[in-house]
Structure 1
Amino acid sequence: MLRVGVAAVWLYEGLWCKVLAKAPSQKEVVSAVPRFGGWAAPFLMVLGVVEAALGVWVLWGFAPGLCAVTQTVLLVTLNANGLLWARNMIHDPAGMVVKNAAFLMLAWVCGAAGGVRP
């Protein structure tokens, strides 16, 4: 069940918010990053595919430790850049950090629980 929950977040964020562009505020945040303004839409499309792929990876259960590391690197990078370049556009920056820290704890529980062995 934990893997389904973690995967659902990645699939929602990737497919709904970015690939289908149902969260326009994300484009505004990316546009605030220097040199990303004109590339926000294509960047979000690629990022959305990557996030959806992470969701599938979580569900698959292959190399769960590496999956948890990958999720952590991606989420910390995205949060750090959002806070650095677009803090004023993020509704609740502290809440975002707390929620994402809790989410990463769940990702790490999935990583520690094991999964499919090669």
Structure 2
Amino acid sequence: MQKKILNKILTISIGLVWLANGLLCKVLNLVPRHEQIVGRILGDAFAKPLTISIGISEIIMAIWVFTGYKSRLNTVLQISIITIMNSIEFVVVPDLLLWGKLNSVFALLLIAVIFYNEFYLNKKTTNALC
């Protein structure tokens, strides 16, 4: 029973991370550094619309996390996105990251929590990605 409760708490927390980053940081631009990161990586000309698009995608990811639909596929996608995004930022724009290159440690912790939540706490009867 405790695994189930912890799974629910972590699922909501993970969803809130995606929602906060997408809505607050990117769509509402409460953290302008995100637009600067996108501008430096993809070009300043389209930084604002691309940042908003990324934010909307993160909001969609939050909704997907909250629904629990195909949670294993969702988990693999989250881990892949976080890994790719943070690897690019680590190499290209470490000076714009909140904790510089140390951001990668927090990204790895988030990945570990997401993995643990799905593959340990959320036991499924099948091992398929669905």
Choose 1 or 2 for highest CA Rg: 2
1:67 corresponds to 2:74: yes
Could you tell me which residue of structure 2 aligns to residue 107 of structure 1?
A: 114
Distance in 1 between residues matched to 2:118 and 2:57, nearest whole Å: 18
Q: Which 4+ runs in 1 deviate beyond 3 A?
A: none
Instruction: Describe the shift of the 1:18–1:114 C-alpha distance in structure 2 as closer, same or farther (beyond 3 A).
Output: farther
Equivalent in the alignment of 1:57: 64
After superposing the two structures, state which structure 1 stretch, 76-85 or 66-75, moved more: 76-85
The one-character-per-residue Cα deviations of 1:8-44 (angstroms, maximum 9, x if unpaired) are 00000000000111110111111111x5221111111
What is the match of residue 80 of structure 1? Answer: 87
**2:90·2:104 contact (CA, 8 Å) conserved in 1?**
no
Contact kept in structure 1, 2:64 and 2:74, CA below 8 Å: yes
The residue that corresponds to 2:24 in the other structure is 16
What is the CA RMSD across the aligned residues, in angstroms? 1.9
Give TM-score, length-normalised by structure 2. Answer: 0.80
Say how many residue pairs are matched.
116
* Residue pair 2:22, 2:54 contacting (<8 A) in 1 also: yes
Q: CA deviation at 1:45?
A: 0.7
SS at match of 1:10: helix
**Which fold has the larger relative contact order, with Cα–Cα distance below 8 Å and residues 6 or more apart in sequence?**
1
Deviations 1:25-81 (A, max 9, x none): 111111111x52211111111110111111111111111111111111111121112
Residue number in structure 2 paired with 1:26: 34
Percentage identity across paired residues of the two chains: 21
- Normalised by the size of structure 1, how large is the TM-score? 0.88
2:43 match: 36
